[in-house]
Amino acid sequence: MKTLKRDLNYTFKDPSLFTKAMTHPSALTPGQGIDFERLEFLGDRVLGVVIANWLFHEFPHEREGDLAKRFTELVRKETLFEVAMELGLDRAMVMKREKSSSQHKRLETLLADGCEALIGALYLDGGLVAARDFIQAYWAPSIKKTLSPPRDPKSILQEWIQSQGKTHPSYVVVESSGPAHAPQFVVQVQVEGIEPVQGVGSSKRLAEKDAAQHMLDAIFSHD
């Protein structure tokens, strides 16, 4: 935790907020993780406000739909996980560590949640300025890396299917597992005339996107 505190370039007036944000409920007895969950809830909303305001001013000529695509990409679990790994939350956070085949996906969720809890703690301790400074420092590479709005792989797949005169793709959940706070879904996508492929995600939507991306990879690898 000491290394993370130094890298944040911010000194907490109330160090207990930082400790609560870095202690996942999985490491506590049942019922003792409320502080973390509340900080995570707050951090999620603060991140949304900061990113939305940033995009509004960074891309003054883009329509609402394009801004929404950028927003979704920047606040999703995968982006939070990338920031968490850059910060070293995998080493700093106190959490239950498991050795299983599903641990990586679970770790993604835990660290993404921890990143949101940290934003919540910064907001409570230093106000919007502290939270905004942190977000702008760690999200700047992501917000500037694409000149055009990101496109959802499901949308790209749908457009390709329509251009080929094929029927709509079919997404089917073939497996769901994991605890309520860290579920995992396996979704299979079927496209007329192409071998079905599967995707994995912590929600049905993310699993569908993953499956669509695998399908696109399969389609264009044969072109």
For residue range 157-199, what is the model confidence (pLDDT) as tens digits? 888 888 888 888 999 999 998 877 778 899 999 998 899 999 9
**Predicted local distance difference test score (pLDDT) of residue 218:** 85
Do residue 138 and residue 174 come from a single domain?
A: no
83 within 8 A of 138, measured Cβ to Cβ:
yes
- Catalytic residue from among 35, 40, 44, 82: 44
Active site residue 44: yes
Do residue 122 and residue 193 come from a single domain?
A: no
Confidence of residue 119 (pLDDT cuts 50, 70, 90): very high
Phi and psi torsions of 172, nearest 5°: -130, 130
64: CATH: 1.10.1520.10
55, pLDDT greater than 90: yes
Return d(Cα 201, Cα 189) in angstroms, integer. 13
Do residue 140 and residue 61 come from a single domain?
A: yes
Output the six-digit token pair for 11.
């000194």
109 within 8 A of 92, measured Cβ to Cβ:
no
Q: Looking at the DSSP assignment, which residues form a beta bridge with residue 200?
A: 186
**Predicted local distance difference test score (pLDDT) of residue 82:** 93
- Catalytic residue from among 116, 125, 208, 210: 116
27, pLDDT greater than 60: yes
User: 144, 177, 212: which is the final residue of a domain?
Assistant: 144
User: 126, 144, 162: which is the final residue of a domain?
Assistant: 144
Q: Please give, one letter per residue, the 3-state secondary structure of 115-160.
A: HHHHHHHHHHHHHHHHHHHHHHHHHHHHHHCCCCCCCCHHHHHHHH
| Mean pLDDT score of the chain | 87
Do residue 58 and residue 165 come from a single domain?
A: no
Active site residue 116: yes
The total number of structural domains in the chain stands at 2
Do residue 94 and residue 63 come from a single domain?
A: yes
User: 118, 144, 170: which is the final residue of a domain?
Assistant: 144
**Predicted local distance difference test score (pLDDT) of residue 144:** 81
Do residue 75 and residue 111 come from a single domain?
A: yes
From the list 176, 160, 177, the residue with the least C-alpha distance to 223 is 160
Higher pLDDT, 37 or 2: 37
98, pLDDT greater than 70: no
Do residue 190 and residue 110 come from a single domain?
A: no
Do residue 137 and residue 60 come from a single domain?
A: yes
- Positive or negative torsion for Cα 12, 27, 3, 142: negative
Do residue 50 and residue 78 come from a single domain?
A: yes
167: CATH: 3.30.160.20
**Domain that includes residue 184, residue range:** 153-221
Do residue 129 and residue 158 come from a single domain?
A: no
Do residue 217 and residue 112 come from a single domain?
A: no
105, pLDDT greater than 80: no
**Predicted local distance difference test score (pLDDT) of residue 65:** 83
Do residue 113 and residue 22 come from a single domain?
A: yes
Query: If DSSP codes are grouped into helix, strand and coil, which group holds residue 41?
Result: helix
Q: Which amino acid belongs to residue 154? A: K
**Predicted local distance difference test score (pLDDT) of residue 74:** 92
Angle, CA of 84, 86 and 92, to the nearest 5°: 60
Return d(Cα 185, Cα 140) in angstroms, integer. 31
